[in-house]
Amino acid sequence: MRALITAVAALMFAAVASAAGIGPAVAQAGFDRPGGDYASAPVLTGDPSVCAARCERERGCRAWSFSYPSASEERAMCFLKREVMPRVKASCCVSGVHGAGVIEPLLDDVEYSIDRVGADYRSFDTTPDPRGWPCAMACRAETHCRAWTYRRLGYGTTAARCYLKDAIKPPHPRPCCISGVVR
């Protein structure tokens, strides 16, 4: 009987949370959580999920911020927080709370942390953007562009770079890049 009551209570909570728009915690790309740091360390892979995993393993971690590498050869950094600080828009960063992990959003045809290697017919430096929109828009403006990859600033380049492709290549998981396919 106790198990039945617990199951019913869990279902009721899930229904109320769903109706209220409360979903699972996710990381926020394009946001920082300034302040409250108790530890920081470089992230050699440049992957925000390393920072999220470190927060999960640390007992006192309540939130985290990951900063992408910069053009001045600075490394990607992970900042662990004692408390959940308010988030602030910042294209340099990804942040989250304990338990959030890194689930970058799927918006339109944008593929976060995906590189589509090869088939480049043109590449150029572009303005830094947390969603790679300048690159996506350039591809949509050219009739023979089938896919694009935006390489974030600091991942082997001193500027954000756009690669336009005349063929759709397989996706490769890499934190350096944002890609998309134009159908």
pLDDT, tens digit (0-9, with 9 covering 90-100), for 2-48: 443 433 333 343 333 333 333 445 677 788 999 999 999 998 888 88
Q: How large is the average pLDDT for residues 130-152?
A: 92
In 73-167, beta strands by DSSP E: 77-81, 88-97, 110-116, 120-126, 147-151, 160-165
User: Domains of the chain, with CATH numbers?
Assistant: 25-97 (3.50.4.10), 110-181 (3.50.4.10)
Taking CA 183 as the corner, what is the angle to CA 111 and CA 93, rounded to the nearest 5 degrees?
Answer: 20
Helix/strand/coil for 50: helix
CB-based burial, 97-125: b 16+ in 10 Å, e otherwise: bbebbbebeeeeebbbbbbbeeebeeeee
C-alpha dihedral sign at 102, 133, 21, 28: positive
Residue 153 tokens read as 């600033």
Q: Which of 65-69, 77-81, 134-138 has the lowest mean pLDDT?
A: 65-69
The pLDDT value given to residue 48 = 86
Q: How large is the average pLDDT for residues 127-145?
A: 90
Nearest C-alpha neighbor of 65 from the set 154, 16, 161, 83: 83
Q: How large is the average pLDDT for residues 54-72?
A: 87
pLDDT, tens digit (0-9, with 9 covering 90-100), for 76-121: 899 999 999 998 988 788 898 987 666 555 555 788 888 999 999 9
Q: Largest Cα–Cα distance in the chain?
A: 66
Non-local (6+) Cβ contacts of 93 within 8 A are 30, 31, 32, 65, 66, 67, 68
